[in-house]
């Protein structure tokens, strides 16, 4: 049996059509999956870039954290409550600017690793200038004090005084503090 040129061409074209259809069928079924994988690869590459930058910045963050922690007050780990000392410090700053702290209420101490935070709710009364100077002094203390809530209202008509309350977050660290003991010479 002899295959003519025309039959050979039709056979090749038929085979090519079948292979093209089969390829289309396979590729069409996988195209959504490939698109999803390509999007996932882009997302992962962005995350890798983000994490690499974060790792590079970690050294800077650690140095900045160490610098900030050197400015914090250090209390002994054996000390039960530091709130009286912190309230006394805040009251002395307020007295320096003639701001009257009428009541102080400490919240519970919140530890975060080596860092501790204690909120103190202070009710106060004074003039606007005294309040501004007090807040400026607290701001100069760095990360030791942070006023999170401040409520202000006038005391009365034409008195020039204000009253209100504020929540001051105090940051500090706790470390064992060794006291030097004198050695008594033994005979």
Domain ranges of the chain: 1-70, 75-175
**What's the confidence (pLDDT) of residue 155?**
85
Q: How far apart are CA 37 and CA 184, in angstroms?
A: 76
| Helix or strand (DSSP H, E) at 170 | strand 161-175
In this structure, whether the domain defined by 75-175 belongs to CATH 3.40.50.300 is answered with no
> Looking at 18-27, 49-58, 176-185, which range is the least confident one?
176-185
Task: Name the packing angle between helices 128-140 and 83-96 (round to 10°).
Answer: 130
pLDDT above 70 for 185: no
Q: Residue 39: is its pLDDT beyond 80?
A: yes
The per-residue pLDDT for 181 is: 52
- Mean pLDDT is lowest, of 40-44, 70-74, 137-141, 150-154, for 70-74
């Amino acid at each position: 049996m002899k295959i003519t040129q025309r039959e050979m061409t039709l056979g090749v074209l038929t085979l090519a059509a079948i292979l093209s259809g089969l390829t289309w069928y396979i590729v069409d079924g996988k195209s959504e999956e490939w698109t999803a994988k390509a999007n996932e690869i882009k997302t992962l590459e962005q995350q890798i870039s983000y994490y690499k930058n974060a790792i590079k910045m970690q050294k800077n963050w650690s140095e900045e954290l160490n610098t900030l922690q050197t400015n914090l007050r250090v209390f002994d780990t054996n000390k039960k409550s530091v709130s009286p000392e912190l309230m006394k410090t805040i009251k002395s700053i307020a007295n320096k600017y003639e701001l009257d702290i009428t009541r102080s209420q400490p919240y519970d101490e919140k530890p975060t690793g080596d860092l501790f935070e204690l909120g103190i709710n202070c009710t106060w009364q004074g003039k606007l200038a005294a309040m501004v100077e007090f807040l400026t002094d607290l701001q100069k203390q760095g990360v030791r004090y942070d006023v999170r809530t401040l409520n202000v209202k006038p005391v009365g008509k034409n008195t020039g005084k204000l009253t209100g309350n504020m929540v001051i977050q105090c940051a500090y660290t706790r470390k064992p503090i060794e006291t030097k003991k004198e050695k008594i010479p033994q005979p």
